[in-house]
Amino acid sequence: MRKLLIATHNLGKLEEMQGYLKELSFEVVSMDDTDIPKEWRVEEVGQTFEGNALIKAIITGKKSGMLTIADDSGVSIDALNGEPGVKSARYAKGTDKQRYEVVLEKMKDVPDEKRTAKFTSVIAVYDPMSDQVTVTYGECLGRITREPKGERGFGYDPIFFADEIGKTYAEATLEEKMRIDHRGRAMQKMYEILKRFP
Ligand code: IMP
């Protein structure tokens, strides 16, 4: 069975992506299952989600020699001129909670109707055998809450109210979130592409 490497060190992302790929006829492996050193990281020098997804998939795929998929994602908030965007993972020092608290603080005077935001995911798959790369996209619209709600998930989940389900990502079950969220949408398209892979 051919191996498919998920190029992420983010356990939240890993769990979501593994959920989607388990039906496929690949042996899905994580970075921990490779002999790539734990501290090895791809520097995200891209200015866009697409650029960073491509960089991560291609560099990790070349390093591992495996078919590799990578996601680059983040939340773009209208009232913050699209920030944190591609900088979502490193918007402020510290934990996920500290980062979303910075967002809530910056938005404390923003009225409800101006709290709109969008999560984006770009997923790239790189095949070192053919040297080909393909990308898929997913988005989810919502708004930033005034306080955190829900216990599940990771990152900005507690402060992102997803319009389609009428609750925050952190209040949704994993299945509910994956059905409507940005990564789930990009993964549904990636699933169709991987199904046809040699
Ligand atoms: P990167 O794609 O590794 O640069 O990191 C994306 C960052 O965006 C994560 O570290 C989270 O902070 C945030 N993010 C991406 N997807 C989600 C999600 O589904 N829920 C909450 N935060 C997310």
pLDDT digits (tens, 9 = 90+) for 15-30: 989 988 988 999 999 9
**Residues 124 and 69: beta-carbon distance below 8 Å:** yes
Is 90 exceeded by the pLDDT of residue 126?
Answer: yes
Distance CA 162, CA 172 (A): 10
Is 90 exceeded by the pLDDT of residue 77?
Answer: yes
Please, which residues have CB within 8 angstroms of residue 77's CB and are 6 or more apart in sequence? 83, 84, 103, 107, 115, 116, 117, 144
What's the average model confidence in pLDDT over 191-195? 94
The 8-class DSSP code of residue 91 comes to S
Q: Which domain holds residue 109?
A: 3-194
Note the pLDDT of residue 41.
Answer: 94
The one catalytic residue among 71, 72, 157, 181: 72
Ligand 1, atom 14, lies closest to the CA of: 74
* % residues pLDDT > 90 (the chain): 92
For residue 161, give Cα distances in angstroms to 67, 117, 146: 34, 9, 10
Q: Counting atoms of ligand 1 from 1, which one is nearest the CA of 86?
A: 4
Please state the domain count of the chain. 1
Cα of 96 vs centre of ligand 1, distance in Å, is 9
What's the average model confidence in pLDDT over 175-198? 93
Cα of 85 vs centre of ligand 1, distance in Å, is 9
**Residues 173 and 128: beta-carbon distance below 8 Å:** no
Q: How far is CA 122 from the centre of its chain?
A: 8
Q: What is the enclosing helix (H) or strand (E) of 51?
A: helix 49-64
Ligand 1, atom 20, lies closest to the CA of: 157
pTM (two decimals): 0.95
Give the lowest-confidence range in 20-24, 41-45, 122-126, 176-180: 20-24
Cα of 183 vs centre of ligand 1, distance in Å, is 10
Q: Which CATH number fits the domain that encloses residue 21? A: 3.90.950.10
Is 80 exceeded by the pLDDT of residue 14?
Answer: yes
Segment 135-168, tens digit of pLDDT: 999 999 999 999 999 999 999 999 999 999 999 9
Note the pLDDT of residue 198.
Answer: 73
